[in-house]
Chains A and B, each alone.
Chain A
């Protein structure tokens, strides 16, 4: 069963992204939302982690959360896909279940 993992905390504040990556299955995807979007920005100490993640999994970031925080879509790690709220809904429907990491 495939899972969409949503991460809503900054990687600088919480380890939810790291923990998620430790237990993720091959068919799963990650959606970065709210403060989780900072993980998608390039040039951080987490960029290599995200670069590795996009090699094996689909990784998405919610555009409105990027914009709200002044982060440019051009400044995110290559391979991370930007989605809008409709895309968010499509992802939830596409995967068998959602795991909302706190």
Chain B
């Protein structure tokens, strides 16, 4: 039975393993055909910055993997506006993530939704399972 899962990402990438571990659990959950949504808030917004280049630190750059989320039917990726604003970032600084709508001639549609804390509260309230990283 599919449940509504929400994964809340609050950590910057590379400094700790949380961001990568979260992404792995997200992909596994989606592979088991659960209804998966993601939130990026606090330092988690740094996970989606464009142009990550990790050659110099000897770690795998896992940021390209986020663009595969659409293929796993993950259509709702919420970014908390307050977290983005606090870090001097805008949506243009983040990856542009899309999903393809089978019912609309495979049109590419935005997965990313910029929402306020208040709207995020409603998104979180509406879930059956919330897992925070």
Interface residues of A (CB under 8 A from B): 1, 3, 15-16, 19, 22-25, 27-28, 96-102
Contact of B124 among A15, A99, A102 (CB under 8 A): A99
Interface SS, A side = mixed
Contact of A101 among B125, B127, B132 (CB under 8 A): B132
A102:B121 contact, CB within 8 angstroms = no
A19:B41 contact, CB within 8 angstroms = yes
Interface residues of B (CB under 8 A from A): 8, 10-11, 18, 41-42, 80, 82, 117, 120-122, 124-133
Q: Which residues of B contact A15 (CB under 8 A)?
A: 42
A99:B41 contact, CB within 8 angstroms = no
A23:B132 contact, CB within 8 angstroms = no
Q: Which residues of A contact B122 (CB under 8 A)?
A: 25
Closest Cβ–Cβ distance, residue B117 to chain A (whole Å): 5
Q: Which residues of A contact B133 (CB under 8 A)?
A: 102
27 A-B pairs (CB sep. < 8 Å): A1-B127, A3-B125, A3-B130, A15-B42, A16-B10, A22-B82, A22-B117, A22-B120, A23-B41, A23-B124, A24-B121, A25-B121, A25-B122, A25-B124, A28-B125, A97-B127, A97-B128, A97-B129, A98-B130, A99-B130, A99-B132, A100-B132, A101-B132, A102-B10, A102-B18, A102-B132, A102-B133
